[in-house]
Amino acid sequence: MRSLRGIGALAALLATAIFGFACGGTTGGGTSCTKTYNVGLVTDVGKLSDKSFNANAWKGVQDAVADKSLCVAAKVIESNQPTDYQKNMQLFIDQKYDMIVTVGFLLGDDTLAVAKANPTIKFAIVDYAYTTPPANLTGLVFREDQAGFLAGIVAGKMSKTHTIGGVYGLDIPPVHKYRVGYENGAKYADPTIKTLGVYQPPSGAKSFNDPDWGKQQATAMFGQGADIVFGAGGNTGNGALLAAVQANKLCVGVDVDQFVSYTDADKCLLTSAEKHIAFAVTTSITDMVKNTWPANGLLTFDATNAGVGISPFHNYDSQVPADVKTMVADALKKLADGTLKTGYTG
């Protein structure tokens, strides 16, 4: 691992970081902070501009900063290419940060290597689970298949052509779970439905960050009869949403309520398949501050703990029939109690 030290490292950090400020003390009669915990977040190449995945992870850090009882200060560094991952983590290490949060499956190997080399610093990674992680590393994983399944029910019931599409990021476990859940949820709602889907091929800095490619794929699916598209791949998926807007089709967002985070797509957004990344990141930071770090190095968020779900229907609420809303609520309950399976077996 290469270290960046001294004035050069500080300049790079200041040039690439977005700053968040921490508490000086708690409110409402609480005691002052005796220690400020410095937390750094490193994005994948999708950056905060993805309006979903990385952006929501950063919101989780900001939520921890806003909780004055935690005494947290935070900064974020956006990665331009995969070779930045370890270098960006090292910038925080050189500044003696207490915890580093990395965002995305693609950072799995780099995060493990850096965590092993720095056992006194806590690390949390979104969307990666390790078999035997070091004691200072925790994976934050989600049942994306459950969120996808619920969104698929909506798409399956609302499609008029009985054909739906999905434009996905790289074929990695979190994305694969979204696709399996979405397609099986649609078939649960409508056994006759046709599902179209495509994964983005590995594209270096354009992985999860190629809206033009996503738009082309969605447009092709509309040509094959799809009238709803699921954009599940960061900025790549956002391209599919924009294609739906331009083609006057419906769309499904991903990771967060994209009606709120990506207003360019509001015209087409029926709902979004959500995994509550901000909640997960805030939980891991709280564990670090309160010294309740998970012994097994894993936190799982699913239908049992409100870790996944779908967003409101917003502009389409009056158009979604009551029986569809009931079917979604019933499915969520059954996913939580285990009586309904998504079909994902990975």
Claim to verify: residue 185 and residue 270 sit in the same structural domain: yes
Residue 25: DSSP 8-state = B
| Residue 235 domain flag | yes
Claim to verify: residue 129 and residue 203 sit in the same structural domain: no
Pairwise CA distance, residues 141 & 284, whole Å: 12
Pairwise CA distance, residues 91 & 15, whole Å: 12
Q: Give the pLDDT of residue 294.
A: 97
Which phi and psi (to 5°) does residue 269 adopt?
Answer: -75, 115
Q: Give the pLDDT of residue 52.
A: 82
Claim to verify: residue 237 and residue 285 sit in the same structural domain: no
| Residue 343 domain flag | no
Pairwise CA distance, residues 43 & 32, whole Å: 31
Angle subtended at Cα 169 by Cα 163 and Cα 173, rounded to the nearest 5 degrees: 100
Total domain count, the chain: 2
- Distances, alpha carbon 289 to alpha carbons 42, 65, 67, 68, 86, in Å: 19, 12, 12, 12, 24
| Confidence category of residue 34, pLDDT binned at 50, 70, 90 | very high
Claim to verify: residue 108 and residue 197 sit in the same structural domain: no
Rounded to an integer, the average pLDDT of 46-71 is 93
Provide the terminal-to-terminal Cα distance of the chain, rounded to the nearest Å. 32
Claim to verify: residue 282 and residue 332 sit in the same structural domain: no
| Residue 1 domain flag | no
Claim to verify: residue 13 and residue 111 sit in the same structural domain: yes
pLDDT tens readout for residues 280-310: 999 999 999 999 999 999 999 999 999 999 9
- Distances, alpha carbon 296 to alpha carbons 139, 142, 144, 306, 334, in Å: 9, 16, 21, 21, 27
Q: Are 123 and 100 in contact (CB under 8 A)?
A: yes
Q: Are 288 and 99 in contact (CB under 8 A)?
A: yes
Claim to verify: residue 195 and residue 312 sit in the same structural domain: yes
| Residue 93 domain flag | yes
Give yes or no for residue 18 having a pLDDT over 90: no
Q: Give the pLDDT of residue 5.
A: 34
| Alpha-carbon 192 to chain mean position | 31
| Residue 49 domain flag | yes
- Nearest in space to 157 (alpha carbons), one of 320, 37, 271: 320
Rounded to an integer, the average pLDDT of 69-81 is 97
Q: Give the pLDDT of residue 49.
A: 87
Claim to verify: residue 297 and residue 315 sit in the same structural domain: no
Claim to verify: residue 253 and residue 281 sit in the same structural domain: no
Give yes or no for residue 23 having a pLDDT over 60: no
Residues 6+ apart with CB under 8 A from 122: 98, 99, 100, 136, 137, 138, 288, 293
Claim to verify: residue 37 and residue 17 sit in the same structural domain: yes
Q: Give the pLDDT of residue 92.
A: 98
pLDDT tens readout for residues 231-282: 999 999 999 999 999 999 999 999 999 999 999 999 999 999 999 999 999 9
Pairwise CA distance, residues 221 & 159, whole Å: 14
Which of 26-40, 60-74, 108-122, 248-262 is predicted least confidently? Answer: 26-40
| Confidence category of residue 31, pLDDT binned at 50, 70, 90 | low
Claim to verify: residue 296 and residue 325 sit in the same structural domain: no
| Residue 346 domain flag | no
Give yes or no for residue 221 having a pLDDT over 60: yes
Which range of residues forms the domain containing residue 295?
6-143+277-301
CATH number of the domain encompassing residue 128: 3.40.50.2300
Claim to verify: residue 214 and residue 126 sit in the same structural domain: no
| Residue 14 domain flag | yes
